[in-house]
Amino acid sequence: MGILNITPDSFYSGSRVGAEQVVEMAERMLAEGATFLDVGGYSTRPGAAELSADEEADRVLPVIEAILANFPEALISVDTYRASVAQQAVTAGACLVNDVSGGRLDPAMFQTVADLGVPYVLMHMRGTPQTMAQLTQYQDVVTDVIDELQTPLAALRGLGLKDIILDPGFGFAKTPAQNFQLLNQLDAFQVFDEPLLVGLSRKSTIWRTLSITPEEALNGTTVLNTVALLKGAAILRVHDVKEAVEAVQLMAHVQALDKR
């Protein structure tokens, strides 16, 4: 899943694109092997500024339309926690909703995606992008995140939604140490029998640990993506598609040996 942030304040400068650049970046990501393009208009980095639903829609809808006008077969995910934006984005051609709040920030989201009948990424987060950094108290982060995903997952299934993807929410109300624990025990999430999406790309867990910058965090991203694949990740959400695709391809060869 290639990341296209239509925002001026995403934590990684290389992912910030304007409408005039997005078709070129989408073309490159698709050529490099991206399965999905994840279009977001609201930065969810810690402490990110608020944005109205209308402003968010004004950012993402023209981009979705521009990508599909040039690449009609592209599979587009909309990265939003707002039901109204999700509804408009799917009408514009998006085929998947990626909700960082797991339905917590907009009570209309679950019914909306159920009515739309599109796949939905249910991510774990506490609080909001503005408050999540203060909500990292867990008894055991793996057990607690699994517990906190059970109720929304059951609600979605109860609404008849079939295609649900789980995201443990690396960096969202988690410290670096908790992120490493989640990654180390990622296979515990197989208890849900749903595909796992992992979003570690260039996050602060990598660059703060290595005392580098987000711009220098590609190698670290590839290392942790490889661990995620070993632990059962089905989708990697990344800024750098080529490198992620290579990791997936090489891991496929390694894992094929287990099936002989």
Domains, in order of start, for the chain: 2-259 (3.20.20.20)
Which amino acid makes up residue 203?
K
Point out the catalytic residue in the list 104, 126, 202, 203.
Answer: 203
Alpha helices in the chain (DSSP H): 19-31, 53-70, 83-92, 109-116, 141-158, 176-184, 204-209, 218-230, 241-256
- Count Cβ atoms below 10 Å from residue 57 Cβ, excluding itself: 21
231 carries an active-site annotation: no
46 falls in which pLDDT band (50, 70, 90)? low
**CA–CA distance, 202 with 260 (Å, rounded to integer):** 35
Task: Please tell me which residue in 231, 237, 259, 260 is annotated as part of the active site.
Answer: 237
- pLDDT tens digits, residue range 163-185? 999 999 999 999 999 999 999 99
Provide the pLDDT confidence category of residue 11 given band limits of 50, 70 and 90.
very low
CA-based diameter of the chain, in Å? Answer: 53
203 catalytic residue (yes or no): yes
pLDDT in tens, 192-221: 999 999 999 999 999 999 999 999 999 999
CA distance 142 to 212: 27
Nearest CA-CA partner of 232 in 259, 200, 255: 255
Q: What pLDDT score was predicted for residue 48?
A: 60
- pLDDT for position 8: 65
User: How far apart are the C-alpha atoms of 256 and 260, rounded to whole Å?
Assistant: 7
- Output phi, psi for 28, to 5 deg: -65, -45
